[in-house]
A = this chain, B = another copy of it.
Amino acid sequence: MVDQPHRPIGKSALQLVLATSEEQEALVETIESAGYQTCLGKTGSMELQKVVSAIETAAKRQGLIDQSLYREMHALYHAILEAVQGVTRGQAQLGDVMRTVGLKFVIVRGIAYENQAEGEWIAVALYGTIGAPVRGLEHETAGLGINHI
């Protein structure tokens, strides 16, 4: 039977992206002891391209995905784009519509369902601010993308 595990992959990614730097270490340990791999980073830009690229690069460098396999890159790419939809809410655009983001990102990868045959999944969580390219003229934003890998 297909069931959510004790520690859901999306919730893990969201909790980690919301964590303070003090909370991070313990939370990473908890999530990794549930069998997941994790990867954290920061990115900020008026160019969406740089946001996508920063997350992809972190995932490759920290070994979360195997960049020689297109299927892994493809799974990650669509998870990123889905998380970006939550951040941009309707138009996957930043500078083109005169706004910028400052984001923390978390990628979590692993067995996400009790049925082992479901294989590995990947979650991308984003949290930070979006707004005008002027300090203070911004509010919070978040997104979550999930894909099978």
Where the two chains meet, the residues of A that have a C-beta atom closer than 8 Å to any C-beta of B are 1-4, 8-11, 14-15, 18, 47-49, 52-53, 56, 68-71, 73-75, 77-78, 81-82, 84-87, 89-93, 95-99, 112-113, 115, 117-119, 121, 123, 125, 127, 129, 131-132, 135-148
Contact = CB atoms under 8 A, between A and B. Distances in A.
Contacts of A70: 2, 113, 118, 131, 136-139, 148
Given A52-B98, A69-B115, 17 more contacts: A14-B14, A14-B18, A14-B127, A49-B97, A52-B97, A70-B131, A70-B137, A71-B118, A71-B119, A73-B137, A74-B131, A75-B148, A84-B97, A86-B89, A86-B144, A139-B146, A141-B144
A74 B138 CA distance: 8
A139 B10 contact: yes
A2 B112 CA distance: 28
Contacts of A119: 71
9 contacts: A2-B70, A14-B14, A14-B18, A77-B132, A85-B85, A86-B144, A92-B96, A112-B139, A141-B146
